[in-house]
Amino acid sequence: MLQRLNHVALAVPDLQAAVATYRSMLGASVSAPQSLPEHGVTVVFVELENTKIELLEPLGENSPIAAFLAKNPKGGMHHLCYEVADIVAARDRLVASGARVLGDGEPRVGAHGKPVLFLHPGDVHGTLTELEQV
């Protein structure tokens, strides 16, 4: 079911500062910021040869990232994203196995314009897990 690792997401309190770090200090290529109001975040992607790093900054007061940053003011790893061929089939298999899908259980369009779902961290050994259909 799982294919390759799509990205590692890091919540950051200051997106511009994080972008500067990745570009200047680490010499990485970083995408333009993209606001995703339906997810409550602004994101950029650090493009690496074998995967991506997604930098997340809260967008709006109801952002789920704001709560994460309240507990982790300097930021940190927020979630892992894995690719799947068929997100509905993956969801159905996971739910049948007892996993909890966050939200209403229906895929939403993610930052790459593809369907995504999130799995409850309690069902994946403490790690918030995103699935993205490719």
User: Is position 49 annotated as part of the catalytic site?
Assistant: no
Beta carbons within 8 Å of 77's beta carbon, 6+ residues apart: 8, 9, 10, 11
Using DSSP's 3-state secondary structure scheme, residue 87 falls into helix
37: which 2 tokens? 């109001």
Beta carbons within 8 Å of 91's beta carbon, 6+ residues apart: 101, 105, 107, 117, 131
- Active-site residue, selected from the candidate residues 54, 57, 130, 132: 130
Where in the sequence numbering do the catalytic residues fall? 130
